[in-house]
Amino acid sequence: MHSPIGDLTISEDEGEIVSIDWGWARDQKATPLLKNAKRQLEDYFDGALETFDLPLRVEGTDFQKQVWREMCKIPAGKTLTYGDIAKRLKVSAQAVGTACGRNRFPVIIPCHRVVGANGLGGYSGAGGVETKIALLELEKAMMPL
């Protein structure tokens, strides 16, 4: 799909979304689930959707899944620091950052809402920090200094 942050490819396997990747993939068959995911993402980019309702196949370590669950608790327009999540999970902020970087569902699992204590921090998606800024601006989030 085309989006304001670049082309995204949504992938499905056996009735679950398995990833959202940067760029354009060829030869995809449009299924009802992929059409629904595309519609929800379009609604998000139009400012009409804040929370996604899609079956995700979330694969990772138990720790990564904990971090991703914490990210999903951050409402649109809000941010938490890597340190905030680290304190909740009693781990290092760096470990949280590493888990954020392994998120296979950008936008849907909102790693862009996790920022550094002294600024935005990084973003592993296409466009890097500029994409993170665009998503936070879309959500009208307060930008960290």
Domain boundaries, the chain: 62-138
* Residue pLDDT, tens place only, 32-70: 999 999 999 999 999 999 999 999 999 999 999 999 999
Q: Model's pTM, two decimal places?
A: 0.92
Between these two residues, 87 and 28, which has the higher pLDDT value?
87
**Rounded Cα distance, 53 and 61, in Å:** 23
- Asked if 100 is an active-site residue, the reply is no
Residue pair 123/131 in contact (Cβ under 8 Å)? The answer is yes
pLDDT band at 145 (very low <50, low <70, confident <90, very high): low
Residue 35 has φ and ψ, to the nearest 5°, of -65, -40
- CA pair distance 120, 141, nearest whole angstrom: 12
What mean pLDDT is predicted for residues 133-145?
86
CA 79/CA 70 separation, integer angstroms: 11
pLDDT of residue 144: 67
CATH of 62-138, picked from 1.20.1050.10, 3.30.450.20, 3.40.50.300, 1.10.10.10, is 1.10.10.10
The DSSP bridge partners found for residue 22 are 8
Which residue among the candidates 111, 114, 134, 135 is catalytic per the annotation? 111
